[in-house]
Amino acid sequence: MQKIPTNLAPSPAKSELPLDLTGPHITAGASAAQRLYQALCETIVSGLVKPGEPLPPSRTLAKQTGFRRNAVVIAYERLIADGFAEATVGSGTFVAARIPARAAGPTKPKAAVEAPRQGAFSLGCTHIDERAVQRFRAFVGRRMRAFGAEHLHYGDPRGSRELRAAIADHLLSARGLRCDPDQIMLTSGTLHALRIVLGAILKPNDQVWCEDPGYPAAGRTIAHCGYRTVSVPVDEHGMRIAKGRTAAPSARAAYVTPSHQFPLGVQMSMPRRLELLDWAKTAGAFVFEDDYDSEFRYDGAPLMSLAGIDRLQRVIYMGTFAKTLFPGLRIGYCALPERLIIDVTAARAALDRFPGTLMEGAVADMLHSGAFAANLKRVRKLYREARDALATTLEAASDGILSVPVPSQGLHLVARFDASIDLAVAAQAKQAAGAEGWLLADTYMRARPLPGFVLGFSGHAIPQLVASAELLARASRAALRAKSKPARRA
C-alpha cells in the first residue's frame, strides 16, 4: 500500500471538515473507506474546501468521523489517485489545485429514455402458447446441461450452422426459398440485418427506394446509415416500380414488404414483383425483402417470396422470430445471394463479431421438433379471432365513419377516415382515447397522407381490444363532430 504523508499540524480553519456521511451521494452498504471517500469528494466538489487548502491529518479525521485510521488512509489514497487531492512528503495532503469536473456520486440523467408502451393497439406484441413455452424451456435446459466449448470462444460471424440449417429447411417448406445454410446469417432482428448488409454493399449517399407509406423504422435505419431514401408510392398492387424508375433510376437498392405491405396490408402483385426484379437486374441493384408477418396468413396460401422467385440472385431475404416466438429472443436472420456472402460476413465480423450462441440450439430444436409449427397454428387461430373482433367493433361503434378492411394476413389492421377528412381529426381522436398504435399519416414520407390509424391486434386480450375499439370509435365520432361544427361569430 502506498504510504500517505499526514499533515504535521491541522489548519486552524479546517481542523474539522463539514462532511455529510449519510446523504444521497453515499452508496448504501458501502465500506467505511468508500463512504468517507464519497463524503470527501462531495465536500471538495461543492466548494466547502478550496483548491490548495490542507486536509486534516489522518488521525484527526479518524477521530472526527469515528472511522479507523486505516479507512481514512485508504480514502486519501483514492482522492489522490482520482485527482481530487495531492500529497507532499513532510507537508501533508491538500485539495488539488484543479479538481476533476465531475460529481462525487451518481446523478439522474437529464434525458430519460422511455420504453415503448404496451397498451391496446400497440404493435410488436405477441402471444406464445403455454405448450410452446414448456417445450422451449425444456430445450434450453437440455442445451445448458450439455454446455459445450462452442460457447467459450468466438464463433462463425453468421451464427451456428445447426440453426442456419434449420432455418434453410423452414424457408424451403414455408416460403419456397431454396438456399444453402452458408447463405443464412443470424442477426438480432430485421433492422440489424438491414444495417449490416447495407454497410457491406452500398456507398455513402447511395439511393434506396422505400415504400410510401412504409415502415418508418426501416427508413430511419437507412438514413442513419448515411444513405438517401427515395419515396416510391404504393397502390393496391404494391410499390409502383415505374415511379421508382422515374424518381431514382440509378438507386442501388430497394426496401419492400411484398407479402404484407406495411402499413396498408396489400400484397405486391406478381407483375409488380417481376417488374421489380427486372429493374434490380438491369440496374445492378439489390432488393431487401422484409417478409413482414408472412407466417400469419388467414385466408389462402401466400404468394411465393420474392427471393424464391429470384432464386437469391438480387434479393436479400429478411425474417425474424420476434413475432413467431417472442421479441425478447432477439434472433432474426437473412438469406444472402452467394455473391454477397464474403463481403457481408466480413461486415458482420467488423460490427459485432458474431451472434449470441446460448439460445441458438433451443430455437433449432423448436424448428426440428415441430413445436414451432404447432405454436404458429395455435396462435394464428387466436390472432384471427382478435382481428375479427377488432374490425367488427370498430366499424359498428364508429357508425360507418371508419373504414376497416379486414386483412388476410399480418398482425395489424388499418382503420381509415374518408380521404377528405382533416388529419387532425385522427390525431385528436387517438389522444382523447388514450390509444396506442400509430397514426396512419405518420407512415408517409412524401405521398399525400390519409387520415386513420394503424392498430395492432396480436398479443392483446380480446375483451381489452373490444373495449379500446369502442372508446376509439366514440372519440373518432366526437373529433369529427367538433371539426365539422361551424365556428361562432364574434
- pLDDT, position 108: 59
Mark 105-125 as b/e (b = at least 16 C-beta within 10 Å).
eeeeeeeeeeeeeeebbbbeb
Domain encompassing residue 250: 130-372
Cα separation, 438 vs 283, whole angstroms: 35
Same domain, yes or no, for 343 and 410? no
The CATH number linked to 145 is 3.40.640.10
- pLDDT, position 180: 97
Q: Which pLDDT tens digits describe the chain residue by residue (490 residues)?
A: 444 444 434 444 356 788 888 888 888 888 989 999 999 988 888 888 889 899 999 888 888 888 999 999 999 999 999 889 998 877 888 999 888 765 444 555 666 777 777 888 999 999 999 999 999 999 999 999 999 998 999 999 999 999 999 999 999 999 999 999 999 999 999 999 999 999 999 999 999 999 999 999 999 999 999 999 999 999 999 999 999 999 999 999 999 999 999 999 999 999 999 999 999 999 999 999 999 888 999 987 777 899 999 999 999 999 999 999 999 999 999 999 999 999 999 999 999 999 999 999 999 999 999 999 999 999 999 999 999 999 999 999 999 999 999 999 999 999 999 999 999 999 999 999 999 999 999 999 998 999 999 999 999 999 999 999 999 999 999 999 998 766 555 4
- pLDDT, position 105: 47
Q: What are 239's strand-pairing partners?
A: 234
Same domain, yes or no, for 265 and 139? yes
Same domain, yes or no, for 188 and 305? yes
Q: Is residue 439 part of a domain?
A: yes
Same domain, yes or no, for 156 and 266? yes
Same domain, yes or no, for 379 and 349? no
CA-based end-to-end distance of the chain: 84
Q: Is residue 269 part of a domain?
A: yes
Q: Is residue 103 part of a domain?
A: no
Mark 56-78 as b/e (b = at least 16 C-beta within 10 Å).
bbbebbbeebebeeebbbbbbbb
C-alpha cell at 371: 413445436
Cα separation, 407 vs 394, whole angstroms: 14
Beta-carbon-side half-sphere exposure of residue 158 (alpha carbons within 13 Å): 21
Same domain, yes or no, for 367 and 378? no
C-alpha cell at 462: 380480446
CA angle 134, 135, 139 (to 5 degrees): 120
- pTM, 2 dp: 0.81
Nearest to residue 390, comparing CAs of 412, 362, 360? 412
- pLDDT, position 327: 94
The CATH number linked to 399 is 3.90.1150.10
Q: Is residue 7 part of a domain?
A: no
Cα separation, 408 vs 63, whole angstroms: 78
For residue 404, CA distances in Å to 388, 395, 397, 458 come to 10, 6, 12, 16
Same domain, yes or no, for 294 and 197? yes
Same domain, yes or no, for 314 and 359? yes
Q: Is residue 9 part of a domain?
A: no
Q: Are strands 92-95 and 228-235 parallel, antiparallel or unpaired?
A: unpaired
Same domain, yes or no, for 384 and 307? no
Nearest to residue 133, comparing CAs of 403, 266, 328? 328
**Of 372, 399, 432, the domain-final residue:** 372
Same domain, yes or no, for 341 and 394? no
Cα separation, 270 vs 141, whole angstroms: 45
Same domain, yes or no, for 390 and 326? no
**Of 314, 341, 372, the domain-final residue:** 372
Q: Tell me: cis bond preceding 213? Omega within 30 of 0 counts.
A: yes
- Edge to edge, the sheet with strand 207-212 lists 184-187, 332-335, 315-320, 286-290, 253-256, 207-212, 228-235, 238-239
Q: Is residue 140 part of a domain?
A: yes
The CATH number linked to 88 is 1.10.10.10
Is the Cβ–Cβ distance between 29 and 21 less than 8 Å? no
Cell 470527501, residue?
A: 40
Same domain, yes or no, for 232 and 316? yes
Task: Look at the chain and report how many structural domains it folds into.
Answer: 3
Is the Cβ–Cβ distance between 139 and 366 less than 8 Å? yes
Q: Is residue 245 part of a domain?
A: yes
**Of 372, 401, 434, the domain-final residue:** 372
Q: Is residue 236 part of a domain?
A: yes
As a dihedral over the C-alpha atoms of residue 394, residue 395, residue 396, residue 400, rounded to 10 degrees, the angle is 130
